[in-house]
Amino acid sequence: MRSHKIVFLLIFSLLGFLDKVEAKADSEFSLLVHFRKYSHHNPFQKGTPYQKKIPAIRLDERTALALLKPGEVPLFAEIHPEESAGRKAYFQKVDLDTGLGIVLLPENFGRSKKASPIAILEESPRTQGVCSSFFTNFEWGSLEFSKSILPLSKLARKENQDGTRSFLFSGKKVCGFTDGAWNVGAELLRRFYQSRFSSLSPFPHPGFYAEGSLTPAEEDYYFPKGSVGAVVSEVLPGIGPMHNLFPGDAVLSVNGTPVASKQKQVLYDILLSKAGSYLNSGEWVTLSLYRDGRKREIRYQLKPYNEDSFLIPESSDKIAPKYLIAGGLLFTELTHTYLKEYGEKYKSSSDRKLVYLAESYSKKLHPERSRIVLLSRAFPDEKNRAYQEFQDLILESVNDKVVDSVEGLKAAIAENKDEFLIFRFSGNKLAVFDKSELKSLDERIKSLYSLDSLDNIR
């Protein structure tokens, strides 16, 4: 009798497993997504095309949701399975930081006999029985290769090192997705789907980082007697309330709710959610602070994570690194990606001053610059022979006009009325060109090196 019971349980378990496999096979399909990889040392190149398969689910007749990796910028996709292979689909929206993408499917995709059915997103995956096993260790955290702070469930053991993503299924429902280190609930997929007609990511970042580990002496210093909370350690320009919130500010309450804990998780919970619902980008929050012995309030709008205002971002642009060539000198902007192209040991193989700047000032503002402009190298020509050894130099000014970005460099060259063009670099190095000869030199460089353009500034 006992053996019959064991057999029955095995069959029951197998049926449940097959049900999950069948649901996954029905709801999920593959997209062959086309990308273009750009070189930050050679930003004038068109970029190397490559493709890879990405998992997707259909959320309505014409819309699918795809799991890209953070930072990937897709060009277009080809529909899979094979009865519609080769048919193009285009991305309506991509959130570069979380890697979620909305794909517009061909009009008649849903009429195909083998087309995937519309997926069912579980409404409460963390509490609903069929999905709750995926979400046992809830906390606010960041996905692999992402900076957005989201409600996640951390896996006890990391399942992969490259952040490969897949959907989570239980029965006929989609519970969310995983990147091998974190599980994400389906409610975030729904939030992103609902934001598909907006260019803004729905997932806000607090805009600052806080320090919760304080000694008793530090608590007495930062907080009024009897209060507790989190102390601001860094404010992110372009995301947080820069110039209103400062390192050392003690956060006492959010929207009238006391923080009442030294744990950052508590702070994130009351800052990014309300009454059990997650706040979206664009909503307003009010922080009660204690600074210099006085209580004060600031109100600001929640924004998604982005690096547009960082002096030294992780990468240079959402599509291709910005560049400009003048006199055969290749100018681009300093980014972490630029340095990492020197290889795994870039900290020792690249210019140490640039490494120091990248590590110390990446999330800072500068009073005169929005970016650091670099002379990456020179295209050899008889007319710039004196500067062909120049490499990885910071451009300070053009004819004594401070250069704040590649766009600013282009404007400075165009607006200059002097006979000569004088580029001044770090270390007080100079490159001087006769303006009357510069145009012919640029055209020769463009022809000799088969360049499509001398810049990509629009």
User: Which CATH number fits the domain that encloses residue 218?
Assistant: 2.30.42.10
Domain that holds residue 432: 323-449
Q: Where are the beta strands (DSSP E) in 1-113?
A: 28-37, 48-58, 63-67, 74-79, 88-95, 100-104
> What is the per-residue pLDDT across 322-359, written as a single tens digit (0 to 9) for each?
999 999 999 999 999 999 999 999 999 999 999 999 99
| H helix and E strand count, the chain | 9, 29
Cα dist from 374 to 222, 338, 426, whole Å: 41, 10, 10
Q: Which has more confidence, 13 or 254?
A: 254
7-11, 316-320, 425-429: least confident range: 7-11
> What is the per-residue pLDDT across 111-149, written as a single tens digit (0 to 9) for each?
766 678 999 999 888 887 789 999 998 999 999 999 999
Neighbours of 365 (CB within 10 A): 15
Residues 61 and 21: beta-carbon distance below 8 Å: no
- My answer on whether 347 and 264 are in the same domain is no
DSSP string, 78-98: EE-SGGGTT-EEEEEEEETTT
19 in a domain, yes or no? no
Tokens representing residue 404 in the block: 């704040």
> What is the per-residue pLDDT across 178-221, written as a single tens digit (0 to 9) for each?
999 999 999 999 999 999 999 999 999 999 999 878 888 988 89
147 in a domain, yes or no? no
Q: Where are the beta strands (DSSP E) in 261-378?
A: 273-274, 277-278, 284-291, 294-301, 303-304, 323-326, 329-333, 373-378
List all residues 6 or more positions away from 428 whose beta carbon is below 8 Å from its beta carbon. none
Residue 141: predicted pLDDT: 96
- My answer on whether 300 and 336 are in the same domain is no
> What is the per-residue pLDDT across 345-400, written as a single tens digit (0 to 9) for each?
999 999 999 999 999 988 888 888 999 999 999 999 999 999 999 999 999 999 99
Residue 11: predicted pLDDT: 41
- My answer on whether 239 and 340 are in the same domain is no
Residues 37 and 48: beta-carbon distance below 8 Å: yes
Residue 172: predicted pLDDT: 83
- My answer on whether 94 and 172 are in the same domain is yes
- My answer on whether 429 and 352 are in the same domain is yes
74 in a domain, yes or no? yes
21 in a domain, yes or no? no
199 in a domain, yes or no? no
3-state secondary structure of 123: coil
List all residues 6 or more positions away from 58 whose beta carbon is below 8 Å from its beta carbon. 27, 29, 64, 105, 110, 115, 116, 117, 118, 119
Q: Give the CATH number, domain containing residue 408.
A: 3.20.190.20
317 in a domain, yes or no? no
368 in a domain, yes or no? yes
Residue 234 reports pLDDT greater than 90: yes
313 in a domain, yes or no? no
Supply the pTM of this predicted model.
0.88
Looking at the structure of the chain, the number of domains it has is 3
